[in-house]
Amino acid sequence: MRLSRYFLPVLKETPAEAQIASHRLMLRAGMIKQASAGIYSWLPLGLKVLRNIERIVNEEQERAGHVPLLMPTLQGADLWRESGRYDAYGEEMLRIKDRQGREMLYGPTNEEMITDIFRSYVSSYKDLPLTLYHIQWKFRDEMRPRFGVMRGREFLMKDGYNFDLDYEAAMVAYDRHMVSYLRTYERMGLQAIPMRADSGPIGGEDTHEFLVLAETGESEVFYDSAILDLKLADRAVDYDDAAQLASIRSEWTTPYARTDETHDEGVFAEVPEERRRTSRGIEVGQIFYFGTKYSEPLGAMVANEKGERVPVHMGSHGIGVSRLLGAIIEASHDDKGIIWPEGVTPFHVGIVNLRQGDAACDAACAEIEAQVAAKGLEPLYDDRDERAGAKFATMDLIGLPWRITVGPRGIAAGKVELTSRRTGESEEMTVEEAVTRLAAIYAGH
RNA sequence: CGGGGCGUAGCGCAGCCUGGUAGCGCAUCUGCUUUGGGAGCAGAGGGCCGGAGGUUCGAAUCCUCUCGCCCCGACCA
């Protein structure tokens, strides 16, 4: 993409409403525009990152054997009356009447609807286990939306639901979700710590929240620093191997890690003092086991091996897709702007032409653009007639992890400059070397 | 939902107290110069001052109502 043809409305000054780094930077980098309180338009750069996050979530879900579908944003009130949540959910649920006076709602979550789908078609244990998920916009009418996409009213969420014959099978699904979530966050360049949590209004018996450590997090968290050393990295995970899943889950849930809701000073005191940490965290996901809470009232039953009709055991699992943009920026930025992890960056490399209109520089930039694209990578070429400072400032702000700088001095010597956004380190090399280096960097992403 | 604040050009703000028909910086457009970290000079365009009522000869400014947004708290993915 050439910047002169793109739509990237960056702001030099910080809009007054933005309080925290991620909100400020998303507005300045031209990623989002507020439409009304807690509701945003996604501008091209923001949409690219949102789609990248979505893609990673999808890939990891499908890898775990979970099946995608898509349910509507608007739901009828009847199902929610059946589960008893129409009245229980409260003012946070946006209720709407259609022209016939039918009561509708903009879904804050989808347990009822997925259970209805399940009960309509599945009646035998032979069809289990089954996990269905979708990535869809949700609406929760927060009293006080704030912090940009971190706490919007409209938000994009992956929510998945597992259906299993009994408690033991549902626990395998629980472990499978835990592992797939750990992989998902790692691919986004995030360290998300599973913490024992409260079940809240969704209702549940066993639940973990995934927290990203950040100063601006909404929750106070207490943890054993040993958990920071755990990495899945290239570990081969077999999602059909229940014992392996359980062992990974156990590995990540053994070190103490809890939010203030479930924090226990007594247990925390047993952690060696030098490893005891208190911090703040942003919640980016949660997994629940809630048994037959919805299958019983909604009549989601299957026949077991003995021919008895039993309610299925369920769990639900969420990843805050739109909120993750905020969380990633909170965890990865500096005073000049965003620093995208390679896994989610909107463009793989920025090309800065320091002397637009100079034949040699223009030709070199076009060549780099073509070679980068030939490697399957997407460049953003700043071909505007701007001064060096302005181009650098824009690249730093929008946070592409790598930059190739092309100037008349270097070109005369057959060299360009490859710069890391994260470290600021630059190295001179030929165009071919730079392209090869980039291809190697992104090979793992 | 309680408490506080703010709506003036695309963005950031001044003007309001003490009424006289709107201004600054950045951005935008034109020209010249400049060209490795948000350039300089000269010129230009752009605002029914959130909306509605009222007071007044006259309202961005005073009064009433209303809509929107933000902050602190409670709540929440």
* Per-residue pLDDT tens digits for A271-282: 999 999 999 999
Residue A407 Cβ under 7 A from any strand B atom = yes
Average pLDDT over residues A196-212: 75
Q: How far is the CA of A175 from the C1' of B7 (A)?
A: 51
User: CB under 8 Å, gap of 24 or more: what pairs does A85-90 form?
Assistant: A85/A112, A88/A201, A89/A201, A90/A201
Q: Which of the two residues, A445 and A22, has the higher pLDDT score?
A: A22
**Strand B-contacting residues in A 174-193, CB cut-off 7 angstroms:** none
**Strand B-contacting residues in A 278-337, CB cut-off 7 angstroms:** 283-284, 286, 318, 320, 322-323, 336
Q: For the segment A257-272, what is each residue's pLDDT rounded down to a tens digit? A: 998 888 889 999 999 9
Residue whose Cα is closest to the C1' of B25: A13
A154 nearest nt, CA–C1': B77
pLDDT of residue A205: 58
Is the pLDDT score of A91 beyond 80? yes
Is the pLDDT score of A202 beyond 60? no
Percent of chain A surpassing pLDDT 70: 98
Q: How far is the CA of A327 from the C1' of B4 (A)?
A: 29
pLDDT of residue A444: 82
A189-198, A323-332, A365-374, A410-419: lowest mean pLDDT where?
A189-198
Percent of chain A surpassing pLDDT 90: 86
Is the pLDDT score of A204 beyond 80? no
pLDDT of residue A260: 87
Domains of chain A: 3-338 (3.30.930.10), 349-442 (3.40.50.800)
pLDDT band at A197 (very low <50, low <70, confident <90, very high): confident
Residue A140 Cβ under 7 A from any strand B atom = yes
User: What φ, ψ does residue A329 adopt, rounded to 5°?
Assistant: -65, -40
Is the pLDDT score of A105 beyond 90? yes
User: What φ, ψ does residue A26 adopt, rounded to 5°?
Assistant: -65, -35
Is the pLDDT score of A157 beyond 60? yes
C-alpha–C-alpha distance, residues A253 and A248, integer Å: 9
C-alpha–C-alpha distance, residues A422 and A322, integer Å: 23
| Beta carbons of A223 and A209 less than 8 angstroms apart | no
Q: How far is the CA of A412 from the C1' of B31 (A)?
A: 32
Average pLDDT over residues A317-342: 96
Residue A414 Cβ under 7 A from any strand B atom = no
| Beta carbons of A342 and A186 less than 8 angstroms apart | no
C-alpha–C-alpha distance, residues A79 and A85, integer Å: 9
Which of the nucleotides in strand B have any atom less than 7 Å away from a protein CB atom?
1-2, 11-13, 25-27, 34-39, 68-77
Q: What's this model's pTM, rounded to 2 decimal places? A: 0.96
Q: How far is the CA of A30 from the C1' of B25 (A)?
A: 21
Is the pLDDT score of A285 beyond 70? yes
Residue A384 Cβ under 7 A from any strand B atom = no
**Strand B-contacting residues in A 205-244, CB cut-off 7 angstroms:** 209, 218
The top-scoring range by mean pLDDT among A78-92, A126-140, A211-225 is A126-140
Cα separations (Å) of A352 from A8, A114, A307, A313? 15, 49, 69, 55
C-alpha–C-alpha distance, residues A210 and A305, integer Å: 36
pLDDT of residue A200: 57
Average pLDDT over residues A29-44: 93
pLDDT of residue A138: 95
C-alpha–C-alpha distance, residues A416 and A407, integer Å: 7
C-alpha–C-alpha distance, residues A214 and A93, integer Å: 29
pLDDT of residue A199: 63
pLDDT band at A88 (very low <50, low <70, confident <90, very high): confident
pLDDT band at A203 (very low <50, low <70, confident <90, very high): very low
Residue A37 Cβ under 7 A from any strand B atom = yes
Is the pLDDT score of A201 beyond 70? no
Average pLDDT over residues A132-147: 93
pLDDT band at A445 (very low <50, low <70, confident <90, very high): confident
pLDDT of residue A81: 92
**Strand B-contacting residues in A 332-371, CB cut-off 7 angstroms:** 336, 354-355
Residue whose Cα is closest to the C1' of B69: A37
A218 nearest nt, CA–C1': B76
